Amino acid sequence: MIKQFFLAIGLLWACFAHAQNPQWKEINTPVKASLRGLSPVSDQICWASGSGGTWLKTIDGGLTWEYGVIAGLDTVDFRSIQAFDAQTAVAASAGQPAVIYRTEDGGKTWGKVHQEGDLAFFDGIAFSGTNTGYVIGDPVDGKWMILETSDGGRSWKSLASSPDAEAGEAAFAASASSLTVGKDGLVLGTGGSVSNLHLYDFKTMSWSKMKTPMIQGQPSEGIFAIAQVGNAIIAVGGDYTKLEQRERHAFIYKNAAFSFPESMPLGYRSGIAFWEKNNLILAVGPSGSDLSSDEGKNWENFSTTGYHAVKVSSDQKAIWASGSSGRIGILVK
């Protein structure tokens, strides 16, 4: 009995230790594109998009992939994608032309649903549910470009109220994660000459702005990704030209106050995701991945594999990552 007891304890400890040490399972894909657009639907269905007009999709957990070029636009970088199921997705470009496309047949055909002018540059896409969504674009004539849809991305219009942008202020399209949408409003994190949080209140339809403690002042510095964790906003970023820099590249905004984590992510990070089901925050970048289970106060590095973006599946069953050279990963425990 004693031997069986200690054996059971040993097995439980082994399971606990394994559960606390998640790793990326790298998945082979048929493309070599840089994949910054990522939208997992479940542990089986995941879409991604990126350079060369590339889109790809799996419906069997990464065993097989369908892929192609959106509307033949092989010079366009589609850094933002939102998928709703195995058949329907919306993709937005970064750079010119500034276009949004939608597919309803699993990627076989893509129809253009919106196009902006020569000064537009889309940085990210965020949806709340299957109908309401937003696209953030760099400022034009001193105003942030924010588009909204109420029909699942079939049509888009400018948000009635857009915040002012400071000179040299920009958003980053590194992972399409600089804009989030919650039940009360929108949050936009910026960088460049200045790093701000812009908050939009759905009830009052008004914007407020706060300067953040994130590293800033250069075109390569600022907030690259944000996540809403309960009543806190967690931001990561840094300087994409200094991958190992660990100074002022993450912060927590909670109860109207900013603070730095007690232990920082290990370097510049371009993507962040909150896995609510498991109370886990993940941050990724070219030099590796970090996790936090205490609202971003402490971060632990668990992988040196580089990824651009990280997203939780719509059904909360899985978390996926995407990166350069067609790299896709799924978190395993």
For the cut 60, the answer to whether the pLDDT of residue 166 exceeds it is yes
For the cut 60, the answer to whether the pLDDT of residue 206 exceeds it is yes
Residue range 22-46: average pLDDT? Answer: 97
- Is residue 233 within 8 Å of 252, Cβ to Cβ? yes
- The pLDDT, as a whole number, for residue 233 is 97
Instruction: Dig out the tokens for 319 from the structure.
Output: 């978390």
- The pLDDT, as a whole number, for residue 274 is 97
- Is residue 62 within 8 Å of 322, Cβ to Cβ? no
Per residue in 225-271, pLDDT (tens digit) is 999 999 999 999 999 999 988 899 999 999 999 999 999 999 999 99
Q: Residue ranges per domain, the chain?
A: 24-332
For the cut 50, the answer to whether the pLDDT of residue 307 exceeds it is yes
3-state secondary structure 48-108: EEEHHHEEEEECCCCCCCEEEEHHHCCCCEEEEEEECCCCCEEEEEECCCCEEEEECCCCC
Cα(185)–Cα(163) distance, integer angstroms: 13
- The pLDDT, as a whole number, for residue 15 is 36
Q: Is the pTM of this model over 0.75?
A: yes
Q: Measured in whole angstroms, how far is the alpha carbon of residue 265 from the centre of its chain?
A: 16
Q: In Å, how far are 22, 76, 208, 240, 300 from 245, measured between CA atoms?
A: 24, 30, 30, 9, 16
Residue range 172-189: average pLDDT? Answer: 96
Cα(113)–Cα(222) distance, integer angstroms: 31
Beta carbons within 8 Å of 43's beta carbon, 6+ residues apart: 61, 313, 315, 317, 318, 330
Which neighbouring-strand residues pair with 238?
A: 222
Residue range 99-117: average pLDDT? Answer: 98
Residue pointed to by tokens 């106060």: 297
Residue range 70-77: average pLDDT? Answer: 97
Residue range 9-29: average pLDDT? Answer: 62
- Closest CA relative to residue 181, chosen from 167, 161, 201, 165: 201
Cα(301)–Cα(251) distance, integer angstroms: 17
Cα(164)–Cα(217) distance, integer angstroms: 18
What's the CATH fold of domain 24-332? Answer: Methylamine Dehydrogenase; Chain H (2.130.10)
**Mean of per-residue pLDDT scores for the chain:** 93
